[in-house]
Amino acid sequence: MFYLDPTYMLFALPAMILVIYAQYKVRSTYGKYSRVRSHSGMTGAEAARVLIPANGLSVRTEVVRGNLTDHYDPRKKVMRISEGTARNPSVASISIVAHELGHALQDKTNYPLLRLRSGIVPIVNVSSWVGYVLFLLGVVLRAMGLVWLGVILFSAGAVFALLTLPVELDASKRALGMLQANGLVTAQETGGVKAVLSAASFTYVAALAQTVSQLLYFIFVAVGMGGSRRRR
């Protein structure tokens, strides 16, 4: 129903454009630097085998299908490396691996924001969906209590997105430091590493903007409903 409301598009369209641009930026930057061979000649998997012991990490690695499916699982202490990253000896591959190991290093050092983000994941998974449903029911039934309860629960997603951004930026900072400290990048390659890490981080900025725009629209509707009821 919201997509039929022109006001919704005023809130959502800028964030949608930002998301599309962020996806384009990641794909184009990854595509560019996946074709730039690293001076070390290391693939992503080989870089992981160097960086894990060098940073005192107890992390297993697994190769998973696809491209850009790389992620670190703090529960199982596993870094999953996509096939494209694992086998490609490129600046993009070692940058992505180092970023995920940045999360592993955060895990090892009990980085507070990572702990907080991981702790609220189950809450966010439930509350965001329930909040959306309650908000929709409240609008249909004209029940302000349900509307505001939906807004409050849905806002957990915005909190999660807000926490994610500094976590990702910190992981990228650690990634660059690891690569430089272990001699896996030259001064000339540093610009490429930063470009890859920056493009990846921008996707989280876009995700935050999208979640916040949705939340602001919900608040706009709730305030409007409340005002119309008072005028009766």
Catalytic residue among 46, 62, 83, 100: 100
pLDDT of residue 232 exceeding 60, the answer is no
- 178 close to 104: Cβ distance less than 8 angstroms: no
**189 annotated active-site:** no
Each residue's pLDDT tens digit, 6-61: 888 889 999 999 999 999 999 999 999 999 999 999 999 999 999 999 999 999 99
Q: What is the model's pLDDT at position 191?
A: 96
- 199 close to 25: Cβ distance less than 8 angstroms: yes
Mean pLDDT taken over the chain: 93
| Predicted TM-score (pTM) above 0.75 | yes
Look-up: residue for tokens 């970023």?
A: 99
Each residue's pLDDT tens digit, 127-176: 999 999 999 999 999 999 999 999 999 999 999 999 999 999 999 999 99
The CB density around residue 93, as the number of other CB atoms within 10 Å, is 31
